[in-house]
Amino acid sequence: MAFIDYYKILGIDKSATAADIKKAYRKLARKHHPDVNPNDKSAELKFKEINEANEVLSDPDKRKKYDKYGKDWQHGEAYEQAQREQQSQQQYQQQTYGGFGGNDFGDHEFSSFFESMFGGGSSHRRGRTSGFRGQDFNAELQLDLNDVYKTQKRVLTVNGKSIRLTIPAGVENGQVIKIKGKGGPGSNGGQAGDLLIQFKINNTTKFKRDGAHLYSTEKIDLYTAILGGEITVDTFDSKVKLKIKPGTQNGTKVKLSGKGFPVYKNDGQFGDLFITYEIEIPTRLSSKEKELFTELKNLKS
């Protein structure tokens, strides 16, 4: 029978460790699993080859025999036959294999090379097989910044299923949350995949957000900036009055503690609101105003 290079099938070399074999098998098994590639005969064949390679290389005794005889396996068959007869059926049943629990391909036949070298299918094939984890689902949820100022509940429809979702206040743009077990169903009793939801937060407000902090600009007239006074400014959910000191300069920044955005998953905690003053210079002066400004200028001379 034609020699089969199991190392090549798994994409590893002969120095690969048990962990390397397990990692390579898991990666390839997920990619070529029949549940992921329905009605794909080439994927089914590849999956069979991957499982057969893992059946041999993940078992120390089989791997030793495979490495020892390789292409010349037929010459060592007589010697190995004697060893096989000394092993009990129970010993085979107690063997466990890395990855997904040895071969995980139902009633598919082993290759002629495998059967000639190791005998028929292993007893593990007739025993317990581990389930295959379902696929993860990905979804995007678009919200306005106002929507995530308070914790809220939503009902999402994913693949025809309604999923109740609690959205914590303070969730960030681009943030991903995971809902366990709401992805694709597992096979052979395996657990379901997860649902990964990415948030896209649209900001239609006057505030710029940076984490839990908010930033805004407030215009004040020249006279208030010079003489001082009081103005009313918007916070995210209310209004507050601020006192302006006489001689306030353009670009002056003030901080309103606790008037920012909710801190994610920290109920009752808020960031700060930073306000920058922008002084408006009058452009249409009356004759009297020009006269007064001229007098002020002369006083400074």
SS3 state at 112: helix
Q: Check if the beta carbon of residue 240 is closer than 8 Å to that of residue 231.
A: no
Q: Where are the domains of the chain?
A: 6-126, 137-202, 208-300
> How far apart are alpha carbons 227 and 244 in whole angstroms?
9
Could you give the CA distance from residue 217 to residue 276 in angstroms, rounded to a whole number? 5
CATH superfamily, domain 137-202, is Urease metallochaperone UreE, N-terminal domain (2.60.260.20)
Q: Do the domains spanning 6-126 and 137-202 agree at the CATH topology level?
A: no
Q: How far apart are CA 86 and CA 69, in angstroms?
A: 20
Measure the CA–CA gap between 43 and 47, rounded to whole angstroms: 6
Q: Is the CATH code 2.40.110.10 the one for domain 208-300? A: no
Please say whether the structural domain 6-126 has been given the CATH code 1.10.3720.10: no
Cα atoms found within 13 Å of the Cα of residue 287, Cβ hemisphere only? 0
**Alpha-carbon gap, residue 277 to 217, rounded angstroms:** 6
Amino acid at 247: G
Q: How far apart are CA 95 and CA 178, in angstroms?
A: 35
Low-confidence ranges of the chain (pLDDT < 70): 1-2, 70-110, 112-113, 115-131, 301
pLDDT one-digit tens code per residue, 159-204: 788 889 999 999 999 999 999 999 888 877 788 899 999 999 999 9
